[in-house]
Amino acid sequence: MRRQLRSRRGPVFPYGYGYRLDDQDEVNQNYLADEEEEAEEEARVMMALELEEEEDEEEKQEEEEEEKEQKEKEEGQGQPTGNSWWQQLQILNEYLWDPERRMSLSQTGQSWSLILVIYFFFYASLAAVVTVGMYMLFLTIIPYMPTFTERMKPGVMIRPFAHSLNFSFNVSEPDTWQHYVISLNGFLQGYNDSLQEEMNVDCPPGQYFIQDGDEDEDKKACQFKRSFLKNCSGLEDPTFGYSTGQPCILLKMNRIVGFRPEFGDPVKVSCKVQRGDENNIRSIHYYPESASFDLRYYPYYGKLTHVNYTSPLVAMHFTDVVKNQVVPVQCQLKGKGIINDVINDRFVGRVIFTLNIET
């Protein structure tokens, strides 16, 4: 401990006592020198203690780092060294399920429950809106009559079926035309006279067969017998003329609900050579002879009420066609309001096919 120096002021002595004061100053100086030495020694001791404490702290930190490295080495002994995929896999596992925080995909169970509830009500509301909208839409739809029919134009289809509408066969080889005969026979089964007489009624020709009553009431259909096609019916000639190089091709107009030929004029069929020499087709016979679709088969009331409706047909019997040559043929519908010159649709009001009869 430090000792405090108390300064004393002596009495004023006569000149003869001067030697005593000088001795007292020397004593004080010696005392102060001792005090300074003690303070320096105490400072050196404090510095040594602080250095020892710092060294101890550094040693402790080094020991902790060594222990930590040792633990990491022990834990990493069972893991592949030097590969990042293992660490990525651990991160992915912790992302999928963190057992410490009990979280999955960074969400707690409460968060997931809230998310599921929100999405449930969202999609339930969306489904309800769609359902109500569809229900209101169906209320405006009449099942027995299409809402929009003004854009529908009569189209045609032909039988028998031919790949790429190319009728190519050899008269002397039945295998080349037999599939055409089979296709026509199958198609005309619904037109058999006995079946037509059983299901449909005999209507007067040349006038519309208009039927009044409720929309959901069943409608009657007029007969179209197979025998109307005569030489192309398959009754007189079972080969439909293919065995003699005089093939029959049937043409049918597609069904349009409520369609009626304009001005009461029946729609007719006309065939000719599309391009090339017109004399390549010298003779065509049509059945029925009028080459038209009679008015008694119109209007059509739809498949829900007009169940037994049988579409009328027109048969083209190519009795004189140039042989051993490809002949392009175009058959068109003719009538008021009939469109048959659409370039990008070859089946609206017309059909184009080729005949290649070899002998």
In tens digits, what is the pLDDT along the chain, a chain of 359 residues? 344 434 444 444 444 444 444 555 665 566 666 677 777 777 777 777 777 777 777 777 877 777 777 766 655 555 444 458 777 777 777 777 777 777 777 777 778 888 889 999 999 999 999 999 999 988 888 777 776 666 678 889 999 999 889 999 999 999 999 999 999 999 999 999 999 999 999 999 999 999 988 888 899 999 999 999 999 999 999 999 999 999 999 999 999 888 888 888 999 999 999 988 999 999 999 999 999 999 999 999 998 899 999 999 999 999 999 999 999 999 999 998 888 888 777 788 999 999 999 98
Looking at residue 254, what DSSP letter applies?
Answer: P
Q: Can you tell me the distance from the alpha carbon of 4 to that of 16, in angstroms, rounded to the nearest whole number?
A: 31
Statement: the pTM of the whole predicted model exceeds 0.95: no
* Nearest of 335, 324, 322, 315 to residue 271 by alpha carbon: 315
Residues whose CB is less than 8 angstroms from the CB of residue 249 and which lie 6 or more positions away in sequence, other chains included: 158, 159, 160, 167, 315, 316, 318, 353
Tokens of 243: 């065995």
CA–CA distance, 52 with 46 (Å, rounded to integer): 10
The H-or-E segment that residue 273 falls in is: strand 267-273
Residues 242/175, Cβ–Cβ less than 8 Å: no
Task: Name which of 102, 122, 123 is nearest 112 in CA terms.
Answer: 102
